[in-house]
Chains A and B, each alone.
Chain A
Amino acid sequence: MKKFRIYFDKDKETAWLNEMASEGYALTSFFAGSYTFDECTPGKYTYQIDFSDKLFCVSEDYREFMHENDIEIVQTWGFWVFLRKQNAAGPFHLYTDIDSSIEHYTKIRNMFKGASILMIIAFFIECICAFHSPICYFFVLFVGAMMITIMNVTFKTNRLINDLKEQKGEVIKRANGPSPVLIAGLLLNSGALIMSDSVSYIKHPLQILAIALMGYGLVKTFIMKDEL
């Protein structure tokens, strides 16, 4: 069975894979959002998703360690590693203390931070190069949406790290900067501004969206600050 899903939150993704496994569907491979499941005895496996230091592979040390601990490497994808362990072989957890969790999520945050910067650059290139064609319209919207999504994941992961650090007893300065929504709006607006006037049918909707985001971002920054 194949299922197509897009996850930006590895904890939600893990929860879903474990739900599938408990219903008798075990993930066997993953490719660009497409999950392939085989039927299994319900509750046979527990899945976890780890973050590797290497792209599309893991070190020999890592492979050996997991093997020794009865953990199977199902798939590597980007920096992600899909792992599973048979429940008969005992419980399966990855990060069980605050320090190692912080380290884990910091690696993830840094990856998303890098990806955010690349998406911002890609978005501006799309805006500069936009010409009169529906494909351009699609690309500007798609890259813009990706940029905002990845930035949002970066901020979310950062909040999670701050929560963990607070649990550890560190004092974290929070919410003293502008809301991420405001930043997203400003970026979209600058993208729209550098666009040629000839593509007004892309430019104008983008500007309206940017203004809406900036307005909401301002409200969030100055009025709803405590909720951040």
Chain B
Amino acid sequence: MDKNIPLTEAIYYILLAVRKPNHGYGITQEIEQLTNGRVVLGAGTLYGAIQTLVKKGWITIYSEDLESRKKKEYIITAAGKDAFDEETNRLKELLENAKLMEG
């Protein structure tokens, strides 16, 4: 899994946004809110990232109701959570070491 980190910012936030079931538009919106409008994912970027993450088995389709017009939702898998945690630990280490600059 080591070659997977560092994750791109888009991938990291998408994993975060699907900690509970979420659909494409919901993912974009949540990320935009979390970053105060700094990260707004384009449709192509989000589509490509979702395809990659599904292929890697980091996220999976949560619901696909073809009868009603409900949007397709995704949720993070155990493997996805592992990758997210690993990246979070790397980021924590960065922040921890950043304190050296202040001292």
- In the complex, the answer to whether B43 meets A69 with C-beta atoms within 8 Å is yes
How would you classify the secondary structure of chain A's contact residues: helix, strand, loop or mixed?
Answer: mixed
Nearest chain A residue, comparing its CB with the CB of B50? A65
> Contacts A97-B9, A99-B10, A100-B48 hold; do A69 and B24 have CB atoms under 8 A apart?
yes
Q: Is the interface of B mostly helix, strand, loop or mixed?
A: helix
In this assembly, does B8 line the interface, its C-beta being within 8 Å of a C-beta of chain A? yes
* Contact (Cβ within 8 A) B42 A94: yes
A96–B25 touching, CB < 8 Å: no
For the complex formed, measure the closest distance between the CB of B54 and the CB atoms of chain A, giving whole angstroms. Answer: 9
Closest chain A CB from B18 CB (angstroms)? 15
| A79-126 interface (Cβ within 8 A of B) | 83, 91-97, 99-100, 103-104
B70 to chain A, nearest CB (A): 10
Cα A44 to Cα B48 with chains together (Å): 27
Q: Give complex CA distance A71, B47 in Å.
A: 12
For A94, give its contact among B24, B43, B71 (CB under 8 Å).
B43
Query: Cβ of B51 and Cβ of A61 under 8 Å apart?
Result: yes
- A68 at interface, CB cutoff 8 A: yes
Given A62-B47, A65-B24; A91-B40 close (CB under 8 Å): yes
A226 within 8 A of B: no
* Contact assessment for A96 and B24 in the assembled complex, using a CB-CB cutoff below 8 Å: no
Q: A68-B24, A100-B10 are in contact. Are A95 and B72 (CB under 8 A)?
A: no
Flag B41-85 by CB within 8 Å of A: 1 or 0 each. 111110111110000000000000000000110000000000000
> With the chains together, A95 CA to B50 CA distance in Å?
14
CB distance from B31 to the nearest CB of A (A): 11
When chains A and B are docked, how far (Å) is the Cα of A61 from the Cα of B44? 13
Contact present for B8 and A99 (CB under 8 Å): yes
A91 / chain B contacts, CB cutoff of 8 Å: 40
Contact at A92–B43, with CB atoms within 8 Å? yes
Q: Which residue of A lies closest to B64 (CB)?
A: A64
Given contacts A61-B51, A97-B9, A100-B10, contact A68 B44 (CB under 8 A): no
In the assembled complex, 24 residue pairs joining A and B whose CB atoms fall closer than 8 Å, in A order, are A48-B43, A50-B44, A62-B47, A66-B43, A66-B47, A68-B25, A68-B72, A69-B24, A69-B25, A92-B43, A93-B43, A94-B43, A94-B44, A95-B45, A96-B10, A96-B39, A96-B42, A96-B45, A97-B9, A97-B10, A97-B41, A99-B8, A100-B44, A103-B48
| Interfacial residues, chain A to chain B (CB-CB below 8 A) | 48, 50, 61-62, 64-66, 68-69, 71, 83, 91-97, 99-100, 103-104
Q: A68-B23, A94-B44 are in contact. List 4 more A-B contacts (CB 8 A).
A: A65-B47, A66-B43, A93-B42, A100-B44
